[in-house]
Structure 1
Amino acid sequence: MSEHLELISENISQWSAVSKITPEIQKKEIKPFVILSLKELEGIEDERLSSLMNAEKFAAVRAIVRHFARLRSATKSLWGQDDVKTFLDGLRFSPECTSELSVLLCTEKLYENIPKHLRMKPGVVSLQWKIDVSLSQSTIETENPSPQRRKEIMHTLKHVIVTFVLTDGHTRTYRLSISQFHELRYVIASALKNMIVLERRKCMKKD
């Protein structure tokens, strides 16, 4: 399974209600529903939204458009059409609808005006850190301190450079003091511990 397919197929059980409606959707309805879905998500009024004859079908397509629009902000690379088709096939769309909708969902212009509240914050692909002693060494060379003072300088002016590579392709680099770095480690460890506790609860387990 590709990274993109894994991303869009996460929590596939949430689509059970949608998959009951999708077999009834016709190819000719796909594009109008996608356009209306985008308008609604962008907060643009359209009188057609108040007079829909097939509200359940529209709601199903809207949920999918919202899903893809939200996840698109979390990754830099474009959706792969094969991945999108695999996902839509799993929702029981007809082959014609799958083909039509997959082309639309893989069109980048679709996501240009998605409001901020729908966007996901990017995840972390990797984290690297290294100790930076350049400032402390420079200070020692300038001051020529006593052994005790040298220890104080090394302790006070030593930093940690932390680099995050994110799922949207960006890289973030931070210069932390030793105490800030230990605080970061504690926060990450606490978050992981809480995630493990949540995963063990019955309500979080899939049937």
Structure 2
Amino acid sequence: MSEQLELLTENPLHWTSVSFTTPEVLKKEIKPFVLLALKELEGCPDSRTANLMNADKFSAVRAVVRHVTRLRSATNTPWNPRDMQTFLEGLRFSPECASELCNLLCTDEIYEHIPKHLRVKPGVVNLQWKIDVSLSQSNINSSVADEQKSKEIMHRDTKVILILTLTNDETRIYRLSISKFHELRYVIASALKSMIVLEKRKCMRRN
């Protein structure tokens, strides 16, 4: 398997729902769907998108366009038509639809007007956190709780506030319960472990 094909097919479970719809897509629908999906990525959505009768088929093509566009921006390397054709046929597009979509997605000109912050998902450049116990202390005082009850209230009502600064200059603020905070820690640890495994794969090595 080539590096590009390995990258395109990295997450097969992501395409399970898409693959149910792709066999129904017609060749004549491919180009209009791609153009509508590109307009969305460019920040100029077409009003016709909201009124499509075959919205499921458009959603399937749009998911492919978004995936391919973001990877194209991240790797900064033109797509190999053979790899792209194999990827699309693996998603159960008919051969003629896969060929039509492949020709469009392997044309570099279609990516020229895609804003960078839309092509690549924003990353985190800064993370701050703090503990908010104001609600738990208020509830403890109002209920005149004993020691055991106070511990339960502290665990239940204490919030962890996360402040994230993203690469697109946005700031996101999240309030999490202690249990949700630990759940987040577990998810991040699992993601980091997966990244370490992924970095060892051949397709991620740069010469």
Give yes or no for TM over 0.5. Answer: yes
- For 2:25 and 2:103, the matched residues in 1 are separated by 16
Residues 42 and 114 in structure 2, CA contact (< 8 A), matched pair in contact too: yes
Q: Secondary structure at the match of 1:77?
A: coil
Q: How does 1:1-207 map to 2 (within 5 A)?
A: 1-120=1-120, 195-196=192-193
Percent of aligned positions with the same letter in both sequences? 60
**Contact 2:41-2:119 within 8 A present in 1 as well:** no
- String of CA shifts for 1:62-120, please: whole Å, max 9, x gaps: 00000011000111321000000110111000011010000000000111111222333
Report deviation, 1:192. Answer: 10
Q: Deviations over 1:91-150 (max 9, x none)?
A: 0000110100000000001111112223338xxxxxxxxxxxxxxxxxxxxxxxxxxxxx
Larger Cα-atom Rg: 1
The answer as to whether partners of 1:69 and 1:118 remain within 8 angstroms in 2 is no
Q: 1:197 to 1:40 in 2, by over 3 A?
A: closer
The amino acid that maps onto 2:73 is: S
Normalised TM-score (structure 1): 0.58
For 2:69 and 2:88, the matched residues in 1 are separated by 15
Distance 1:105 1:197, change over 3 A: closer
Normalised TM-score (structure 2)? 0.58
Question: Deviation per CA, 1:37-81, whole angstroms, max 9, x where unpaired?
Answer: 001111113221121111000000000000011000111321000
Unaligned runs of 5+ in 1: 122-190, 201-207
Alignment RMSD (CA, Å)? 2.6
8 Å Cα contact 2:73-2:120 kept in structure 1 = yes
CA distance in 1, matches of 2:8, 2:71: 7
